[in-house]
Structure 1
Amino acid sequence: MPSGTKIDFEAIDILSIALPARGEKLLYDARAKGLALRLRASGARTWIAVERTAARTVRTTLGDARHLPLEAAHRLLAAGPQNRSDVANDALFGPDATIAEVLTRFLASGEAGRWKPGTIRNMKAVTKMHILPHFGGHEVRALTPEEVNRWHLDITAKSSAVRMALSTLSGLMLYAEDHGLREPGSNPCRGLRRKQHGKRGQMMSPDAVRRLWAALDRLQDRIPDACDAVRLLFLTGARRSEILSLEWDRIVGARAVLEDSKAGPRTIWLNAPARELLAIRKGTAKGQFVFPAPRSKGPMKVLDRAWTLIRQEGGLGNIRVHDLRHHFASVGVSNGIDLRLIGQLLGHNDIDSTIGYAHLATDALARSASKVSRRIERSLRGDGHGRPVRKRKADPVRILSVKEATHA
């Protein structure tokens, strides 16, 4: 439903209202003038008071609509601005609420289906290890960008979980804004997450790719499932969890259709070598999973030990399994494929997740611009000076084998 619509909130479950694809929208209460439900793409559902004065319209946060009943929102609206605490605190927290106090409810708000169980576990882990020891006693409203920046530099030097820790703290600050504990737009984590990405897309060298494939061939009889899983990761750019948990009935022709992945439902596109590999495995399959666990009924869970062996066999240094996904994306971007299409192939929810490969797209554009410039220059020389450019004899067309195409 469009922003500005009036709704009888007493007759509807507010959790059933669809969130906007991006940004936010306001839905107004048909019974209480000035009460609105603000919906954000981030998942926040917040009661706000919309009050008009002679000079301007003021929007004041009343509280999280998932925890604050409609009746309580009506009472806060009727109380008027003068009788509401500080910035319309929703009575779940006092104006001096600490980060430790708010964190508990923030994490609980995501357990009702908003986040995946694995995400919640990771958030709780970084909360215990990195956030509470540093900021647990801080007042939420008083946390500054300078304090967050020092904390971020400190944990960057100590832990590989820095991205999850920063994301969790940033989400907490947005939650605090929705509850009136901080001014809107005052998130002290703003800007840090984008700065830390740097250039994420890097291609493996052709020699490294050849050594990887040769190592897989040599180890195929010893660890066949792991070798096939690594090949599929390389050929599809899929996440490790998506390949290891893949089920046969999700594969339809050239696609693997996943009901639930890290970013929700998505499709993995299967090229000819990937389909050939799966067809070979299908001939000996006995269960529902493409890569069944060796000693249980579920799928394979880990590749760590096998990947260490593969890296050592191929002399690949400290290349990670996830770097295969980066390589897939980098090859696509470097060959001129649009970032939005790359994002769809990788299963990204938004373009921000793919933007780390933008420098490769710029390189591809620069090469294309050079080719166009050279052709224009040749054309001008031929027309302007009477020296037509000699055409080169075309190279004979040769069809690449599957292995050659894979190595390219």
Structure 2
Amino acid sequence: MERAAAIDLDTIDLTAIALPETGELLIHDANAKGLVLRLRASGARTWVVLERVGGKTTRRTLGSVRQIPLEAARRMTAALPAVTLATPDAPSPAPLFSPDARISDLMPRFLASGEKGRWKTSTVRNMRAVSDTHILPLLGARRVRDLTPEEVARWQLDVAAKSSAIRMALSTLSGLMLYAEDHGLRDPGSNPCRGLRKKQRSKRGQILPTDTVRRLWATLDKLHVAMPDACDAVRLLLLTGARRSEILSLEWDRILGPRAVLEDSKTGPRTIWLNAPARAILDTRRETHSGQYVFPAARIDGPMKVLDRAWALIRKEARLGTLRVHDLRHHFASVAVSNGIDLRLVGQLLGHHDIDSTLGYAHLATGALMRSATRVSERIDRSLRGEGSRPPLRQPTRRAMPAPAPTAPTREATHG
């Protein structure tokens, strides 16, 4: 592992720093003690906080550099519970594990690392359950460095044949292998769980009809005086594709210009990108809401927790049938994919942890792919004809056809 001296990260392009040929490179931020930019040969660029706990240096991963800006990473580091943050000149601690450590040796420390606020309590409970039931009995005696993709594939089939918890079990084992990489027990990028599906891919997503979106927006305008918080929350859900919990718990100091940087979400730290209509809603709310939360609770100190009652009234007034609040997120993703936005970018917009979660929308990309294929074939056809960038010749028609009447722009493009 290479180590660099502390430097002012404001002075460099974080996405242009050369990656190490092997292993990883740690670059310490001179302006935030303990904050480290970790570069891996695999291409990963992540924020890591080094902490000194009980005389030992431990790492806490904040998230991807592409999703968390430098200033946000510095604030997140400053907001961590009081610990002694490590410096680049601190002596390297003795390794926590033997090179021959077994899966049963790592699992307790791996789970303990998540209990310190990295994962939600329910997540830790489920991970501990699948570890005790499916991982340790079958793989616990294996040396961490020796576990192969073939063994994991066989283990996955065995567990899937008798339990529906295979998705959580595979995620837990995969996380354990990444933990092993962080502690030098496996080579970077050698996770034997890579490429195995954590869940079945299914078609998802539905573009709401234009009339439905128009009725919903008109209903939000109509009911705004009676329940402004709920109506604004629904507007932001429709405009950003964010999860309900992410919008309702949003804090003002997490909003940085065109984005909201969340320290925690369902999949960890992530960024919500705010388009112009969304920013206009927030600017209007900021004039009358000066507390901590964008959507404060009515009777207690904290954010709004639920939208169920308000959504039932909105849904009835707009004649939306059984439409769920979460369907607004599916609509956002469906519009994005159908208009040719790359699935990986859509996944970043939605805050998906992995591409498998986004691939459920792949069937909606057919139209965009066909348009792209047509453009490519036309360009190839022109080059074969030696016509350069000129459009292909058209055969004259006997009778000119009337031009189609222009169609009015839909609100879907604005509010989808």
* Equivalent residue, structure 2, for 1:270: 275
* Equivalent residue, structure 1, for 2:108: 104
* Equivalent residue, structure 2, for 1:285: 289
Q: How many angstroms does 1:230 deviate by?
A: 1.4
* Equivalent residue, structure 2, for 1:90: 97
CA 1:24–1:381: 2 relative to 1, 3 Å? closer
Q: How many angstroms does 1:174 deviate by?
A: 4.3
Equivalence map 1:151-170=2 (5 Å):
151-152=159-160, 154-156=162-164, 163-170=167-174
Identity score, percent: 50
CA contact 1:381–1:387 (8 Å) conserved in 2: no
**Count, aligned residues:** 332
* Equivalent residue, structure 1, for 2:235: 231
> Per-residue CA shift, 1:63-120, capped at 9, x if unaligned?
xxxxxx95756xxxxxxxxxxxxxxx9349865x53xx532211223456xxxx3624
TM-score, length-scaled by structure 2: 0.59
Q: How many angstroms does 1:244 deviate by?
A: 1.7
Tell me if 1:260 matches 2:268.
no
* Equivalent residue, structure 2, for 1:332: 336
Task: Give the AA of the match of 1:109.
Answer: S
* Equivalent residue, structure 1, for 2:37: 18
Q: Which of 366, 384, 393 is matched with 2:403 structurally?
A: 393
CA 1:104–1:395: 2 relative to 1, 3 Å? same
Q: How many angstroms does 1:331 deviate by?
A: 0.6
Equivalence map 1:21-60=2 (5 Å):
23=42
RMSD of equivalent CA atoms? 5.0
Q: Secondary structure at the match of 2:341?
A: coil
Q: Which of 293, 296, 310 is matched with 2:300 structurally?
A: 296
Q: How many angstroms does 1:237 deviate by?
A: 1.7
TM-score, length-scaled by structure 1: 0.60
CA contact 1:127–1:168 (8 Å) conserved in 2: yes
* Equivalent residue, structure 2, for 1:52: none
CA contact 1:236–1:269 (8 Å) conserved in 2: yes
CA contact 2:114–2:124 (8 Å) conserved in 1: no
Q: Which of 244, 247, 250 is matched with 2:248 structurally?
A: 244
CA contact 1:219–1:227 (8 Å) conserved in 2: yes
Q: How many angstroms does 1:128 deviate by?
A: 3.9
CA 1:135–1:71: 2 relative to 1, 3 Å? closer
CA 1:188–1:279: 2 relative to 1, 3 Å? closer
d(CA) in 2 for partners of 1:153, 1:118: 31
CA 1:18–1:276: 2 relative to 1, 3 Å? closer
CA contact 1:202–1:327 (8 Å) conserved in 2: yes
Task: Give the AA of the match of 2:108.
Answer: T
* Equivalent residue, structure 2, for 1:199: 203
d(CA) in 2 for partners of 1:126, 1:371: 49
Which 5+ residue runs of structure 2 have no aligned equivalent? Answer: 5-18, 27-33, 45-58, 64-90, 143-150, 382-390
CA 1:137–1:300: 2 relative to 1, 3 Å? same
Q: How many angstroms does 1:217 deviate by?
A: 5.5
Larger helix proportion of the pair: 1
> Per-residue CA shift, 1:153-187, capped at 9, x if unaligned?
6554xx7xx65553223212444577798999886
Q: How many angstroms does 1:251 deviate by?
A: 4.9
Tell me if 1:360 matches 2:364.
yes
d(CA) in 1 for partners of 2:118, 2:101: 31
d(CA) in 2 for partners of 1:251, 1:184: 34
> Per-residue CA shift, 1:313-333, capped at 9, x if unaligned?
656566543332232122122
